[in-house]
Amino acid sequence: MTDKTSVEAEEENLLDHEYDGIREYDHPLPRWWVLIFWGSFIFAIGYFLHWSVFKRGLSAHQEYAADMAAAREAQAKAAMGDKVSEEGLAKLMTNSAMMADAQGVYKARCEVCHGAKGEGKIGPNLTDDSWIHGGGTLMDIHKVVGEGVAAKGMPAWNRQLTPIELSKVVAFIGSLRNTNVPGKAPEGTKSGSAAPAGSAAPSSGSPAPSAGASAPSASAAGSVVPPAGSAAPAAPSASGK
């Protein structure tokens, strides 16, 4: 009885179509399988829109670049130490990867006024050896870039850049010194041109004789000293004879 009932139930579940003598049962898929299928389909649509249409995600290459940039930030902090110094900024100049990062900051913030190569536009030429503010040391540059020059319209970049970004872009500007890219004419004072404190002012042309130098002898002047007891020569007459 049971076998007959089960056979009849199976026959009721058979579909009408038949292929090569094979008939198909009308058995629905498990609900969990259907849910996974539709969930995957909806996720695929969202994934496509996020990456290919709106382009809001980071690629594997971009994530790697961001991780490496963060590692260089930590390395720069270690190189700089607790306080910004001439030596610390000079260390940053020797790191090509950090200078590549700094060049990106320079391009975004400084290029509009100082030119792509530092040749000067609205702002002064950064590649010569003349400086309007300071003497061209890395610490002088750090002060000018950080505090800005309000009279010239240069903002204080220490309010917009992180301390490490500021130090790196200062090191990059320092690497442009004395590259002498053709551009805006030099402005300000030539670095190292000022006389050191306490030095004597130069004379009008010839160096002053030393205190111990003896006066030139009469013989050096071209005159002949007569021997003792001899009469002095007579003065020439007006006629020259």
The pLDDT, as a whole number, for residue 3 is: 58
For 29-64, b where at least 16 C-beta lie within 10 A, e where not — what string?
eeeeeeeeeeeeeeeeeeeeeeeeeeeeeeeeeeee
pLDDT of residue 224: 41
**In angstroms, rounded to a whole number, what is the distance separating the alpha carbons of residues 99 and 175?**
9
Residues 27, 30, 34: CA angle, nearest 5 degrees: 115
Span 69-125, pLDDT tens digits: 888 888 888 877 778 899 989 988 998 988 998 999 999 999 999 999 999 999 999
Percent with pLDDT over 90 in the chain: 43
If DSSP codes are grouped into helix, strand and coil, which group holds residue 105?
helix
Q: 91-100: b or e for each residue (b if 16 or more CB lie within 10 Å)?
A: bbbebeebbe
Fold classification of 62-190 is: Cytochrome Bc1 Complex; Chain D, domain 2 (1.10.760)
Strands (E), 20-152: 22-25, 130-131
Q: What average pLDDT does range 2-26 have in this prediction?
A: 70
State mean pLDDT over 7-23: 72
Report, as an integer, the average pLDDT of 166-171. 93
Task: Name the more confident of 164 and 204.
Answer: 164
Mean pLDDT for the chain?
A: 78
Cα first-last separation, the chain:
174
Model confidence at 191: pLDDT above 90: no
pLDDT at residue 7, rounded to an integer = 60
Residue ranges, comma separated, of all CATH 1.10.760.10 domains in the chain are 62-190
Say yes or no to pLDDT of 56 above 90.
no
Using the structure block, give the residue that is written with the tokens 């890219």: 181
